Amino acid sequence: MTGSESHSLENAHRAVRHDRYHAPALDKGLDILELLAGQADGLSRTEMSTALGRNPSEIYRMVERLVSRGYVHRASGGDRYHLSSKIYRLAMQHPALRDILDTLYPEMTNFVRAVSQSAFLGVFHDGQVRVVATYEPPDRLTITPRVGAELGVIDTAPGLALLAFQGVQARIAMLRATQRATLDEGGLAEIPHGQLDAICRMGYARISSLSFSGLENMSFPLLDRAGNAIAVITCPFLEAGTPVDRPSADAVCVHLLAISHAISNRVMR
């Protein structure tokens, strides 16, 4: 047997081993999810059938199952389907988030004591930013959302920081989930792309609160290996009442930026 014949035989055996546990229904569902992930405007069942080379009845049954399980969203009043944010939400349940909470606790405890400001950790969940942990200084009253509170995405610093540090498809899925959460069916929520670009360049979002005078929200993403935000640290910086010997807002930004980089490198890399 020649070397080339041996190599071909080895490839054939590898292909047989690879297909030994072939699961047509699972493959079909994954094909649909992967196809929709690359379509910002969604697809109809006919378009999916054509693109995948499958029988329309096959596509109909599988798409309806994916809709019922929440992985695919049917556009209101139409026959177009979009990838939902459920896969993204499942990723948020990954043990890495628990590792972040454990690793972040001592860092944030020291931070709030040093700067006399509060902070909280948020993740994207069902079209909103869900607060999953809070950190309070012992020496003053602060304005901090409670654990479990849900914040807007397109009108808050943590929401914009989470959006800014995402790939295109993940950002679209997040915006669609946000649209449904706010009962706005008039189209995708409008985000000034220049604002997201500026946040990416700066490395964090810094926005004055619309609800509390003198409060500035500063949000710093925790990034995975691909550079996508899986969580965000936010400091609601309140100037009034801050001891004169404590760091300024600019100094707090530098401090939190260093913490966010360190946690991302330590836990996510």
Pair (77, 209) in one structural domain: no
Kindly report the CATH number assigned to the domain that includes residue 18: 1.10.10.10
Q: What pTM was computed for the model?
A: 0.65
Beta strand pairing call for 229-238 and 119-125: antiparallel
Which of 84, 105, 136 delimits the end of a domain? 84
Same domain flag for 131 and 46? no
- In one-letter notation, the amino acid at residue 6 is S
Side chain identity at residue 133, one-letter code: A
Residue 24, pLDDT score: 84
Give the pLDDT score at 101.
85
Identify whether residues 59 and 159 lie together within a single domain.
no
Q: What's the confidence (pLDDT) of residue 252?
A: 95
Distance (Å, whole) CA 208 – CA 92? 28
Alpha helices, DSSP H, located in the chain: 3-18, 24-37, 45-52, 56-68, 86-92, 95-115, 157-164, 168-181, 193-202, 249-263
Q: Which neighbouring-strand residues pair with 233?
A: 121, 220
* Ordered per-residue pLDDT tens for the chain, 269 residues: 444 444 444 444 444 444 566 788 888 999 999 888 777 678 999 999 999 999 988 899 999 999 999 889 888 767 889 888 777 666 656 666 778 888 999 999 999 999 999 999 999 987 889 998 999 998 877 889 998 888 999 889 999 999 999 988 888 888 888 877 665 555 555 666 788 999 999 999 999 987 888 899 999 999 988 899 999 999 999 887 667 778 999 999 999 999 999 998 887 65
pLDDT for 20: 63
SS3 236: strand
The pLDDT score that the predictor gives to residue 177 is: 81
Residues 260 and 128 placed together within one structural domain of the fold: yes
Q: Amino acid identity of 257? A: L
| Same-domain pairing of 123 and 141 | yes
129 and 78 share one domain = no
Quickly count: other Cβ atoms within 10 Å of residue 161's Cβ: 31
Domain that holds residue 160: 90-268
Q: Which residue has the tokens 């055996």?
A: 13
Mark whether 250 and 229 lie in a shared domain. yes
Domain boundary among 57, 84, 111: 84
pLDDT at 91: 60
Mark whether 141 and 72 lie in a shared domain. no
**98 and 197 assigned to the same domain:** yes
Q: Where does a domain end: 84, 113, 130? A: 84
What burial class does residue 52 get, using C-beta atoms within 10 Å of its C-beta: 0-12 exposed, 13-18 middle, 19+ buried?
middle
Residue 133 and residue 33 in one domain:
no
The verdict on 242 and 213 lying in the same domain is yes
What is the phi/psi pair of residue 12, to 5°? -65, -45
Residues 12 and 31 in one domain: yes
pLDDT reported for residue 189: 59
Q: pLDDT at position 234, please?
A: 97
Q: Which residues contact 195 (CB under 8 A, 6 or more apart)?
A: 160
pLDDT at 192: 65
Residue 80: helix, strand or coil by DSSP? strand
Instruction: Give me the number of domains the chain comprises.
Output: 2
